[in-house]
Amino acid sequence: MKRLATLLYGTLAYVVFLATFLYAIGFLGNMVVPKALDSGTTGPLTTALAVDLGLLTLFALQHSGMARRGFKRWITRFVPDGAERSTYVLASSLALLLLFVAWRPLGGVVWQVDNTIGQVGLYAGFAFGWLLVLVTTFVINHFDLFGLRQSWREFRGETQQPLPFVTPLLYRIVRHPLYVGWFFAFWSTPTMTVTHLLFAAMATGYILVAIQLEERDLMAAHPEYARYRQQVPMLIPGTTRTTGASTGVRPVGA
């Protein structure tokens, strides 16, 4: 029964993640969903700003804190090893859902692109970003990243085994293609409101800090990562001279 409960828990966490991922597309794109980034009544600027910054900070603390090895060792005192990743995925999804529900618009427009070609290009960049995020998760092992592989192994009574250190496709171009996708999704919009700018700027800043934490953990867990880091650029293709690196790894805290 314990193994079955772990599998059901992992499946539930994955379903919640899928719903959150789909809602996030509508939230950032201001389309379809009932509560989007710029929807709702604009209230006092200081109150809205404080709420939004608090929500972003809460997500950042949860997302990076629970990804650290020390927290993983602590949480597995209470949940099976096969449920640790699912717990992280579920907590991240719930933190994002809270952000979607409680987010407050600030009002104001930073830029507005009226040119049709420009609009099409920016919408294409938005779609490309989300597609790159999704494709990257499958390149590195989608079901391991979101906990289903671990809960399935727990259900079968198999020992949890980390994935080998490999270089899947996009990771030979940049070390963090998943985050490149997020940047496209955050910044590609024909109408950049003050609210959207706050979200994009804060999320970008968080990612740049999170990369440093992730890479510190990766170098501790995989001695090969230091060489890989020298050979493959972090985010922008071609900014580091490559020598045919044949090693790579999935992001620890993604």
Q: Which residues contact 204 (CB under 8 A, 6 or more apart)?
A: 183, 186, 187
> Average per-residue pLDDT in the chain?
89
Segment 84-110 mean pLDDT = 94
Residue 247's pLDDT is 39
| H-helix or E-strand spanning residue 192 | strand 191-193
Q: When comparing pLDDT for 86 and 68, which is higher?
A: 86
Max mean pLDDT range (71-75, 93-97, 107-111, 142-146): 93-97
pLDDT confidence of 241, banded at 50, 70, 90? low
Residue 86's alpha-carbon distances to 22, 112, 172, 219, in angstroms, are: 18, 40, 28, 24
Q: What is the pLDDT of residue 248?
A: 38
Q: What number is the average pLDDT over the span 189-212?
A: 95
**Phi and psi angles of residue 117, each rounded to the nearest 5 degrees, phi first:** -65, -40
Measure the CA–CA gap between 28 and 66, rounded to whole angstroms: 24
Q: What local confidence, expressed as pLDDT, does residue 23 receive? A: 97
- Confidence label for 187 from pLDDT (cuts 50, 70 and 90): very high
Q: What pLDDT, on the 0 to 100 scale, is given for residue 220?
A: 84
Specify the pLDDT at position 223: 86
Collapsed DSSP state (helix, strand, coil) of residue 111: strand
H or E element at residue 148: helix 148-155
Q: What is the mean pLDDT of residues 31-44?
A: 87
Q: What are 131-184's pLDDT values in tens digits?
A: 999 999 998 889 999 999 999 898 888 888 877 777 788 999 999 999 999 999
**This prediction's pTM:** 0.87
